[in-house]
Amino acid sequence: MALADALSSTAFTELNLLEQSDRDLLDTHLAFAQRHQDFDCHRIIDCGAARGSFAIPALVTWTNAQLLAVDPNVSELALLIERAVVTKVRPRLATLPAAVWSHTGAVRAFGLWAKAGHFGQTGLVFNAMKELGFTITTTLADVIGVFGSNEVDLLKLDIEGSEHVALPATPPEILRRVRYWQIDEHNVDDKKYFGEQWHAVDVYGIIAEAGFRCIEPPNLWKRVGDLQ
């Protein structure tokens, strides 16, 4: 059964979760995972996980993997958990409701992020933070550290522009604790996204300088020491 069909169970149909864009993303990420099954992933981090268009195909493909899904939108993470139950990968999934940023704590939701709802957390403390115009944040160092001293096999980074803030704040030795990076770089308007104090950076340049080489342009990078 196709992955998108498996997610079209009665529960998902009733919730209208599988729009065509959902199916397209699932198909794209499933093709990526199956194309790279030889990565032999055991520890995966999905930053910007949303409702699981990457996380679910990854867990279905790498059947021994544990995956940490990070996203500031708890409603989207709830949908991801439902999908994980349907596809029987829930025991290997953990979630962290936070935005990846330069520091752990909180950051004000401003500009296009606030308008687009990328900081649209709901429930308990998250709803209170939203009312104040803030979201809870974490760092790449913290999420990589979830697996302790173990290396992360694959980290997917699709965080709507905040890679321009999170990556420069991460020491190269922390970046190198990941074997493969899949990074979606967003072209951002500095003032609309970050205000006066933040600026767009050369995202792929930071990864290259940390000791990675692009093996599938433009966004799949492998640690140089692991190249055959």
Amino acid 86: pLDDT: 84
Task: With beta carbons less than 8 A apart as the criterion, state whether 129 and 123 touch.
Answer: no
Task: With beta carbons less than 8 A apart as the criterion, state whether 182 and 156 touch.
Answer: yes
- Write down the CATH number for the domain with range 3-8+20-28+40-226: 3.40.50.150
Amino acid 13: pLDDT: 47
The predicted model gives 170-195 an average pLDDT of 82
**Cross-strand bridge partners of residue 106:** 136
Residue 123, by phi and psi: left (phi above 0), alpha (psi -120 to 50) or beta?
A: left
Residue 192 has pLDDT above 60, yes or no: no
d(CA 113, CA 192): 9
Task: With beta carbons less than 8 A apart as the criterion, state whether 156 and 194 touch.
Answer: no
Amino acid 228: pLDDT: 53
- Listed by start position, the domains of the chain span 3-8+20-28+40-226
Phi, psi of 4, rounded to the nearest 5 degrees: -60, -35
Please tell me the pTM assigned to this model.
0.84
Residue 199 has pLDDT above 60, yes or no: yes
Report pLDDT digits (tens) over 77-136.
998 998 898 888 999 999 999 989 888 887 765 443 443 344 444 334 444 445 555 678
For the chain, give the mean pLDDT. Answer: 81
136 secondary structure, DSSP code:
E
Name the more confident of 199 and 194: 199
Amino acid 8: pLDDT: 54
